[in-house]
Each structure stands twice: as structure tokens, then as C-alpha cells.
Amino acid sequence: MEAIAHAAGVSVPTVSRVLSGRGQVAPDTRERIRRLLDEQEYEARRSSAGRSTGLIQVVFPGICSGWETEHVRGIEQVAQEAGVGLVVSVLRRGEALRRGELMRTDGVILAATSGVYAAGARVPTVALDPVTGAAAGAPSIGATNFHGGRAVTRHLIGLGHRRIGLVTGAGALRCSRDRADGYRAALEEAELEEDPTLIVEGGEFTHRAGLVAGRRLLAHGHPPTAIVASSDTMALGVLEAARQRGVSVPGELSVTGFDDLPASRWSSPPLTTVRQPLQEMGRLAARTVLRLAQGRAVDHQDVELSTRLIVRESTAPPGS
């Protein structure tokens, strides 16, 4: 504060008045001081001076589906048990989190969010469903996406499918690539050749993206008999595309999801999918930031919790 006052050519009390909003300050003086506070990313000692704020924060790239909800449930449980509050923030891709926002909490969980934007703020950080290559040094928590992708694809191959489409997820996330790699591994071990025209980039884990990709695959000259979607919401979009085209599921087309959100049980037909323990991942992420916030060491740097194939009614042998 003294530095700011000096730089602005005013006394400390004047800076204080600007900060608190109490008392009279000339408009241009106020403006000059504000600019300096911004530039120097000034944070009141009160909130950053090593004292606990009793808060942890989770950052999502958006709140669109049940995925975030499940994570929040898990994280909130642990936060409540630990007596700390949970701040939920949305940081759209490309946006930078203002530094003050991070500094006001004891730790941050970056859920499917790039750590780059948080690099400067020295706040304990954990990556939940980490973005490729980001959040260097931060512990990460994911699921065995490769195994999950391989397991659903094997399931379809086991049913007799030979032309299996893939709708990929958000490209920046490691989980998307791992699922696609699992798909490829299953094809390879069954000695099925990969057909690049059956792989559609979904781009985002949304119903809309699944609908668009599903339409494209169904319009294929020699369409697949099964489609592996990279998330449940995408799979619901693929189901919608099938419905619109009058293609019956699972009779003419098998469809699979990934996540096992509650909605996957409520769709019709109920989705065959890969269960990710989203709540448990949230709980583990929360426990991990809390450990870091206490200055304790973490047991494991990078953890993947296991996924499990859930067979419901959206898959069947081809042409059944």
C-alpha cells in the first residue's frame, strides 16, 4: 500500500480511502490510484498474507451437463466435512481468471480447465480431468479413460459389429484422446481396420455436438452399425439423430456413452455406457487440495480411478 501511495504521489490514507470506498477522493486521484492497484495486482494483506480463507474453489469451463453437477456433489461433501466453503467459478476457454479471484481461496481445483491461466497465482492447485500438457506440476485426478474406451469398443466387437463409428470429445482434454486411443486399441486387437471416415470430431461434450456428429455418421454412404460417443450427453444427441432419421436403436444401430450420468438411465433406450466415478473423483480432488493447502505432501502425483462398462439396452448385435 505504501508502494502504491508512493507511486501515485499521495499518502497512505488516500489509497486506503480508494480501497474502502469511504471518504472523499478527487475523481482523477481515485482513477490514478485504481489504475496502479490494477497494474500491481494489489491484494489486501488481509486476504493473502498466508492466512487461511476457509474456502476452496473449483473452476469449470462451463456448466452444461450433469458432469459438473456430479463433481460438485463430491467436492461439496468433502468441503462441508472439512468446514470450508466451496466457490464455484466458470472460466470459458481462453479467458483468464483474474488473479484476485484465485488468491482469495486456499486452493483451486481446475476441472477440465487449463492451468496456464492460474500459473501466476501461487495457490495450491489440483487438475481434475486434466487438460493436455497444462497445470505443470499440479497433481491430477482422472479416470482410466483408455480402458473405458477399449472396454465399450470390445463390447461392440463382441456383439458382432465390424463398422463402428467414433464421436470424439473436447480435443484439449486428455480424457478425450485416451478414450479414442482405447477405441483404436480395441479395433487393432480385433484386427479391424480403422476407417477414418467413421471418426468424427465432436469438439465439445454436448448434446448438440452429438446430434451433429450422429447425423454425419448416419448420412455416410456405408454407415456404421454402432457408434461410440465420447460422453453420455453426446450419446443422447446421437440417439436423437437416429430418431430423426427413423433408425431404430439398438435394432439398426447400437449407441454407447461415457460417464454414466443419471440421464443415461432415463433415456430410451437406457444407454450402455462407461461408468466414471465422478463424485469420488471430486472427493479425491477436494481432499488433495486441502492437503496441499495445509502444506502437506500428496500421496500420488497423478491418479486415475477405475472405470466400468455398464451394459444397458442401447447395444445389441448388428441387424437384430
Residue 88 binds which one of a copy of itself, DNA, none, with CB within 5 to 8 A depending on kind? Answer: a copy of itself
> Computed from CA positions of residues 39, 44, 47, 48, in that sequence, does the dihedral angle turn out positive or negative?
positive
**What's the CA gap between 9 and 79, in Å, rounded?**
44
Q: Which residue of 63, 96, 136, 219 would you call a contact of a copy of itself, by CB under 8 A?
A: 63
**What's the CA gap between 127 and 111, in Å, rounded?**
6
Residue 7 binds which one of a copy of itself, DNA, none, with CB within 5 to 8 A depending on kind? Answer: none
Residue 245 binds which one of a copy of itself, DNA, none, with CB within 5 to 8 A depending on kind? Answer: none
**What does the chain come to in residues?**
320
Residue 63 CB, nearest distance to a copy of itself (Å)?
5
> Computed from CA positions of residues 265, 77, 277, 143, in that sequence, does the dihedral angle turn out positive or negative?
positive
Interacting residues toward DNA by CB under 7 A: 1-2, 9-14, 16-17, 19-20, 22-27, 29-30, 44-46, 50-51
Give backbone dihedrals phi and psi of 310, rounded to 5 degrees, phi first.
-115, 110
Output 44 or 96, the one with its CB closest to DNA. Answer: 44
Site for a copy of itself contains 260 (CB under 8 A)? no
Residues with Cβ < 8 Å from 141, sequence gap 6 or more? 126, 127, 128, 129, 130, 281, 284, 285, 288, 302, 303, 304, 305
**β pairing state of 308-310 and 273-275:** antiparallel
Q: Cβ(228)–Cβ(165) under 8 Å?
A: yes
Mark residues 220-249: x for contact with a copy of itself by CB under 8 A, - for none: ----------------x--xx--x------
Residue 21 CB, nearest distance to a copy of itself (Å)?
8
Site for a copy of itself contains 192 (CB under 8 A)? no
Q: Which residue of 82, 87, 157, 309 would you call a contact of a copy of itself, by CB under 8 A?
A: 87
Q: Which residue of 30, 89, 216, 309 would you call a contact of a copy of itself, by CB under 8 A?
A: 89
Q: Which residue of 104, 163, 215, 220 would you call a contact of a copy of itself, by CB under 8 A?
A: 104
**What's the CA gap between 276 and 305, in Å, rounded?**
8
DSSP string, 174-241: HHHHHHHHHHHHHHHHTTPPP-GGGEEE--SSSHHHHHHHHHHHHTSSS--SEEEESSHHHHHHHHHH
Output 65 or 140, the one with its CB closest to a copy of itself. Answer: 65
Q: Cβ(320)–Cβ(250) under 8 Å?
A: yes
Site for a copy of itself contains 277 (CB under 8 A)? no
Q: Which residue has the cell 463430491?
A: 74
Residue 270 CB, nearest distance to a copy of itself (Å)?
9
Residue 96 CB, nearest distance to a copy of itself (Å)?
13
Size of the site for a copy of itself (CB under 8 A): 38
CA separation (Å) from 297 to 138, 143, 160?
Answer: 12, 22, 49
Residue 60 CB, nearest distance to DNA (Å)?
31
Output 51 or 243, the one with its CB closest to DNA. Answer: 51
Site for a copy of itself contains 93 (CB under 8 A)? no
Closest CA to 111 of 300, 284, 290: 284
Residue 120 binds which one of a copy of itself, DNA, none, with CB within 5 to 8 A depending on kind? Answer: none
The grid coordinates of residue 136 equal 505443470
Site for a copy of itself contains 66 (CB under 8 A)? yes
Q: Which amino acid is at 240?
A: E
Question: Which residues sit at the interface with a copy of itself, rule CB under 8 A?
Answer: 20, 46-47, 51, 54-55, 57, 63, 65-66, 68-69, 72-73, 76, 80, 83, 85-90, 98, 101, 104-105, 207, 236, 239-240, 243, 262-263, 266-269
